[in-house]
Amino acid sequence: MHFSQILVGATAFLSTGVVAQLSGTVGPKTSVASKTAKKKCSVLDYGAKADKTTDLGPPLASAFAACKTGGTIVIPSGDYALKTWVTLNGGSAWALQIDGIIYRTGTAGGNMIFIEHTSDVEVFSSTGKGAIQGNGYEFHAQGSRSGPRILRTYDVDRFSVHDLILVDSPAFHFSMDTCKNGEVYNMAIRGGNWGGLDGVDVWSTNMWIHDIMVTNKDECVTVKSPSTNILIENIYCNWSGGCALGSLGANTAISKIQYKNVYTWNSNQMMMIKSNGGSGYAEDLVFENFIGHGNAYSLDIDQYWSSMSTIAGDGVKLTNVTMKNWKGTEANGAQRGPIKIACADGAPCTELTISDFAMWTETGSKQTYTCRSGYGSGFCLKASGSASYAAVTSTVSAAPSGYSAATMADDLKTAFGTTVSIPIPTMPASFFPGATPISALAGS
Ligand SMILES: *[C@@H]1O[C@H](CO)[C@@H](O)[C@H](O)[C@H]1NC(C)=O
Ligand SMILES: *[C@@H]1O[C@H](CO)[C@@H](O)[C@H](O)[C@H]1NC(C)=O
């Protein structure tokens, strides 16, 4: 454990009785009701029209200016066009209620909605039907990834984003950069079947991210550096890239990250830690209760990741990583076995624990487990030592007992592609087999 983490552990959090992985209270300080009671700023009073043509950008900026020091900005139900991007900068104790559907019509890069330097903020849909339709296919069909991201938060403290639907971003869907004490939940994110269209990316402190569905072909819910005290649970990667840590480079500083109840279907991996060279650490990580079906990789620690160029340094040091209760099946276990651990030879992994792990192949009748420079317990990991070692592979030709695991009735059967409009989904009732959302879905 690093010294800086000890300092944040003392806040008055015990009363809520939740989750050890967090270091303190998350979410806005004051309720939407109290914000709305103070002041309500409907975009319709600032020139917006629900005609799918009039630019929502300037009215939203004006409504924000009027309510940013305390109040609720409301986008009522109806269809709006967003032609110019909006930065919601500063203020505090405000909420943004998106009950309408916002269609991107502008073509600039950047972020359609960018929230920064603010606190006590809630961005949500009161009906669970509010959505932002990025119409990314208009770019993607031309082979272009140059369009905007949908939503980005930077330097935001005590906030929540919930019950919103983000669709077909031209680039990333939702990034949280250097934020703290946030809660993100009840979100459906659906993008094109391409790399570069990340679902949720977070590099922040003390965050609770739960009940999220992501369809795309890149990051599902991914943690980047620096990050600490992040709890991610009830995640449905419904035809995605899958969840990951990374990619990690120089001076990586990641600690106390827990993923729990992650269901991954038809993705690149169930969980990946990806780097190639670099330095720093990722430690005190827990990946528990994972179910996978139809994925290429399952557990994939790749510190020689070929999709990034090698960065100077001996490697990012992984310590104290627990993988427990993984079940299900992988697409082809002889091609890509369910455990692939390739730690940096210059910084071997230590204290890795793999337990209660049972997965089996959907194709053929054998699968492999591979370990390189990793120490700890379970499967092909070496129990003791600290020197690098070459990859050791074992092959098994019988299914482990207890591998079978539930599927979700709603698993996507065909990708959305990148050339035609992607329909706005409704919020799923559940994000993990047998689990109900931790907070009731809005409008349910
Ligand atoms: C390992 O990480 C877990 C999860 O963050 C933590 O609870 C535990 O204290 C860590 N163990 C050590 C020896 O630091
Ligand atoms: C997964 O994607 C499919 C296709 O969009 C959708 O029908 C289904 O509702 C999604 N699953 C969930 C739980 O949202």
| Domains of the chain, residue spans | 17-214, 218-406+422-437
Q: What distance in Å separates the CA atoms of residue 359 and residue 292, rounded to the nearest whole number?
A: 8
What is the CATH topology of the domain spanning 17-214? Pectate Lyase C-like (2.160.20)
Known catalytic membership, residue 345: no
Instruction: Please tell me the residue having the least CA distance from ligand 1 atom 1.
Output: 284
Q: Which of 167, 213, 410 to mutate to test the pocket of ligand 2 (most atoms within 8 A of CB)?
A: 410
User: Could you please report the per-residue DSSP string of 315-344?
Assistant: -PEEEEEEEEEEEEEES-TTTS-SEEEE--
228 C-beta closer than 6 A to ligand 1: no
Ligand 1 atom nearest 286 alpha carbon: 4
**Burial category of 44 from C-beta neighbours within 10 Å (exposed 0-12, middle 13-18, buried 19 and up):** middle
Q: Which of ligand 1's atoms lies nearest the C-alpha of 284?
A: 2
Please count the other Cβ atoms lying within 10 Å of the Cβ belonging to residue 177.
15
Q: Which residues contact 391 (CB under 8 A, 6 or more apart)?
A: 342, 370, 371, 372
The 10 Å CB-count burial string (b at 16+, else e) for 280-298 is: bbbbbbbbbbbbbbbbbbb
Res 19: pLDDT: 61
- Fold equal for 17-214 and 218-406+422-437: yes
> What is d(CA 270, CA 293) in angstroms, rounded to the nearest whole number?
9
From 21, 284, 352, mutation site for ligand 1 pocket: most ligand atoms within 8 A of C-beta: 284
- Does the C-beta of 416 come closer than 6 Å to ligand 2? no
Mean pLDDT by 10 residues, the chain (444 residues): 40 45 95 98 98 98 98 98 98 98 97 98 98 96 93 98 97 97 98 92 98 94 98 95 97 98 96 98 98 97 96 97 98 98 98 98 97 98 95 97 87 79 91 95 90
Pick the ligand that lies closest to the CA of residue 321. 1
CA nearest ligand 2 atom 9, residue: 410
Q: What is the mean pLDDT of the chain?
A: 94
Nearest alpha carbon to residue 28 among 72, 85, 60: 72
pLDDT at 17 (0 to 100) = 41
Q: Is 256 in the pocket of ligand 1 (CB under 6 A)?
A: yes
Tokens 């800086």 correspond to what residue?
A: 4
Q: Could you say which of 157, 218, 284, 300 is catalytic?
A: 218
Burial class (CB in 10 A: 0-12, 13-18, 19+), 5: middle
Q: Which CATH number fits domain 218-406+422-437: 2.60.120.620, 3.40.50.10420, 2.160.20.10, 3.20.20.80?
A: 2.160.20.10
Atom of ligand 2 at shortest distance to CA of 425? 5
